[in-house]
């Protein structure tokens, strides 16, 4: 019987495939296919890891002090029993043989199957043995990670010919999402998360259909179930009927055709009907995203989220040279086009592994979104901050670099940033390192920044509106919390007024302003933003051509005339409905 689950539509399109359930803590396990010749090798890795863990456990048991509690020995017995249990090892081998999963993936797939069985047990004692199983698997994965080597990776096989796979998890951290840039999944579903959570943002950058906040999905969906993700509607269909499947296959083909049609716009300049030339830029997370940005026809990078270079490193930060190489790679790849590098924006839903006393404070922050986040964190770690500034400055010797500062709210922060930058430049001069003069911009993502933008622009060269946080902080809605996702509304007149005000103020000050939050890549807002006077949009490359198409059909001055009624609406619904009516009118007219 097919079941429908509802969540939040975060990344468009339709994905059809088999479910791969992954526990949140194991999302970062490598997922890749191995070819026929590697199957025995993978099974051997599993066997070696099993023997090693069994030996470890036996030694632990043997060396146990005489006065150790009896439960400890009993616990080790259970672990030894589990490690030799055929339900774990033999079935794991089947995932490797039958599906060509690598050993780690096969093991975590089997863990999910067994964990379900434990969850359904009547007996409480037996049910609680699930934790033991997880610990044993954890040990195995650790041992396998030690032994992983390049020869394994070189035997990766493409997903071609396999059933497409859809990842289902309770949650996926933004840092772990980066794994998927190289993985085999064609879509993903999580129980938790909001539309502009960083997990959702990375999904959009991967351009794979995704639904987050689907609440019970990881409990209801079973390993290997056939799944349809309707990424436009935020719907997940489990075990679809043949008729439904056919309908969604048809829609998949339609959206492929639509993409092919849009790709013809790649070299068309983005100019409105009334002749306004619009700058379309790309948001990237890693330097390796730059070619995708170019492919989509971006005129530069409007937001390089540098914090992704700082994640998944076990607490170790990238040094100046490593950062420099990454920034330089993006700058060189963009071929003379501007690259706007944002200083590290950690905190809230992008935590960093513990590294310093400040992070200890951060971990225990009462409300991380309002705590030591973004520029506040950078300013509290002056050495780290200057290191990043030096790396960014050095990259400017290879192309056009702009510096962007996240979460600015106070003029004093602007001054501290400029002082740190001056110091970093001085250090580079003394070291005889080349760099160019770079523009410095402020992200407008705190209402205070939008309201005092004229003052900030006395010190900053440009501004970029981060609508994701601006909405979060204006409406006091956690952007990553699906429980309040229905109140996270970009159409709220307070949000629209702040954005419009910021654009107007920047234009009066004669400074450049762009939008780099998700609203810039959402076609529902293109005309409105143009009407507000926005002439620079930065978004995921995957959205760029759809936005360009909208721009080509829009008369910006007409929309400027509609602003009064849209911004003055009593509530988000009225503003949204009025904009939709005007969009329909425009479509009919063009």
Min CB(219)–Mg ion separation in Å? 31
| Smallest gap from residue 453 Cβ to ligand PEP (A) | 16
List 31, 79, 100, 198, catalytic entry = 198
Give the chain's length: 590
Closest CA to 10 of 177, 251, 160: 177
Pick 101 or 310: Cβ nearer Mg ion:
310
Q: Binders of Mg ion among 458-477, rule CB under 5 A?
A: 466, 469
Q: Least distance (Å) from ligand PEP to the CB of residue 374?
A: 8
Counting Cα atoms < 13 Å in the Cβ hemisphere of 367 gives: 6
For residue 580, give both structure tokens. 């939709």
User: Which residue of this chain has its Cβ atom nearest to Mg ion in the complex?
Assistant: 469
Residues in 428-447 at the binding interface with Mg ion, rule: CB under 5 A: 445
Rounded to 5 degrees, what angle do the CA atoms 358, 360, 365 make?
90
Which of 79, 100, 492, 516 is flagged as catalytic? 516
Q: How many residues bind Mg ion (CB under 5 A)?
A: 3
**Which candidate, 543, 560, 548, 558, places its Cα nearest to that of 589?**
558
Contacts of 409-417 with CB under 8 Å at 24 or more apart are: 409/446, 409/448, 409/449, 410/448, 411/452, 411/455, 411/456, 411/459, 413/375, 413/376, 413/379, 414/442, 414/456, 414/459, 414/460, 415/459, 416/379, 417/375, 417/379
330 and 339 in contact (C-beta within 8 Å)? yes
Residues found near ligand PEP in the complex (CB under 6 A): 201, 303, 305, 345, 445, 466-469, 516-517
Q: 185-190 and 339-342: which strand pairing? A: unpaired
Smallest gap from Cβ 369 to Mg ion, in A, equals: 10
Q: Is 104 in the site for Mg ion (CB under 5 A)?
A: no
Shortest CB 150 distance to ligand PEP, Å: 33
Nearer to Mg ion, 169 or 405 (CB): 405
Active site residue 198: yes
Nearest residue to 349 via CA among 476, 469, 480: 480
Q: Which does 467 bind (CB under 5 to 8 A by kind): Mg ion, ligand PEP, none?
A: ligand PEP
Given the complex with ligand PEP, which of 56 and 481 has the nearer CB atom? 481
> Among residues 359 and 469, whose Cβ is nearest to Mg ion?
469
Instruction: Identify whether 576 is a catalytic site residue.
Output: no
Rounded least distance, CB 204 to ligand PEP, Å? 11
Give the nearer residue to ligand PEP in terms of CB position, either 218 or 468.
468
Secondary structure of residue 194 in the 3-state scheme: coil
Closer CB to ligand PEP, 305 or 402, in the complex: 305
Positions that interact with Mg ion (CB under 5 A): 445, 466, 469
Give catalytic residues, as residue numbers: 198, 516
């Amino acid at each position: 019987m097919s079941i429908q689950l509802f969540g939040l539509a975060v990344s468009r399109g339709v994905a059809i495939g088999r479910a791969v359930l992954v526990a949140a803590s194991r999302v970062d396990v490598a997922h890749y296919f191995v070819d026929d010749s590697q199957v025995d090798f993978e099974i051997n890795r599993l066997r070696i890891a099993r023997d090693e863990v069994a030996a470890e456990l036996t030694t632990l048991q043997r060396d146990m002090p005489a006065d150790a509690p009896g439960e400890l020995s009993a616990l080790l017995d259970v672990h030894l029993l589990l490690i030799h249990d055929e339900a774990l090892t033999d079935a794991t081998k089947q995932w490797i043989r039958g599906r060509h999963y690598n050993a780690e993936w096969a093991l975590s797939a089997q863990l999910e199957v067994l964990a379900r069985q434990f969850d359904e047990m009547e007996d409480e004692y037996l049910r609680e043995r699930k934790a033991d199983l997880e610990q044993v698997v954890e040990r195995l994965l650790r041992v396998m990670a030690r032994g992983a080597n390049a020869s394994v990776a070189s035997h990766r096989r493409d997903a071609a010919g396999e059933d497409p796979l859809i990842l289902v998890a309770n949650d996926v951290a933004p840092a772990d999402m980066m794994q998927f840039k190289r993985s085999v999944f064609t879509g993903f579903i999580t129980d938790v998360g909001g539309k502009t959570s960083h997990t959702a943002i990375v999904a959009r950058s991967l351009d794979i259909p995704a639904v987050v906040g689907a609440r019970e999905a990881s409990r209801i969906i079973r390993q290997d179930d056939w799944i349809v993700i309707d990424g436009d509607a935020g719907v997940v269909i489990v075990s679809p009927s043949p008729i439904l499947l056919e309908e969604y296959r048809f829609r998949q083909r339609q959206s492929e055709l639509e993409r092919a049609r849009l790709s013809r716009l790649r070299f068309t300049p983005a100019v409105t009907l009334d002749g306004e030339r619009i700058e379309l830029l790309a948001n990237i997370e890693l330097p390796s995203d730059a070619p995708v940005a170019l492919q989509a026809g971006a005129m530069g990078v409007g937001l390089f989220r540098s914090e992704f270079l700082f994640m998944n490193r076990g607490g170790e930060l990238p040094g100046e040279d490593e950062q420099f190489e990454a920034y330089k790679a993006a700058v060189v790849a963009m071929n003379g086009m501007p690259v706007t590098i944002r200083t590290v924006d950690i905190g809230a839903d992008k935590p960093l592994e513990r590294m310093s006393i400040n992070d200890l404070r951060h971990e225990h922050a009462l409300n991380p979104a309002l705590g030591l986040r973004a520029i506040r964190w950078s300013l509290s770690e002056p050495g780290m901050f200057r290191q990043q500034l030096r790396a960014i400055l050095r990259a400017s010797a290879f192309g056009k670099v702009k510096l962007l500062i996240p979460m600015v709210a106070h003029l004093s922060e602007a001054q501290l940033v400029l002082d740190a930058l001056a110091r970093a430049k001085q250090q580079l001069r003394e070291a005889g390192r080349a760099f160019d003069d770079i523009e410095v911009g402020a992200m407008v993502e705190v209402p205070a920044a939008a309201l005092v933008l004229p003052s900030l622009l006395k010190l900053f060269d440009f501004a970029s509106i981060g609508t994701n946080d601006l909405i979060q902080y204006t409406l006091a809605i956690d952007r990553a919390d699906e429980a309040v996702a229905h109140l996270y509304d970009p159409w709220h007149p307070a949000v629209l007024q702040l954005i419009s005000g910021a654009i107007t103020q920047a234009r009066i000050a004669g400074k450049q302003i762009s939008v780099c939050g998700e609203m810039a890549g959402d076609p529902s807002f293109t005309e409105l933003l143009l009407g507000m006077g926005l002439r620079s949009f930065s978004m995921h490359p995957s959205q760029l051509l759809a936005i360009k198409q909208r721009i080509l059909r829009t008369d910006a001055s007409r929309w400027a005339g509609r602003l009064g009624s849209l911004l003055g609406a009593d509530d988000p619904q009225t503003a949204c409905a009025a904009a939709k009516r005007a969009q329909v009118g425009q479509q009919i007219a063009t």
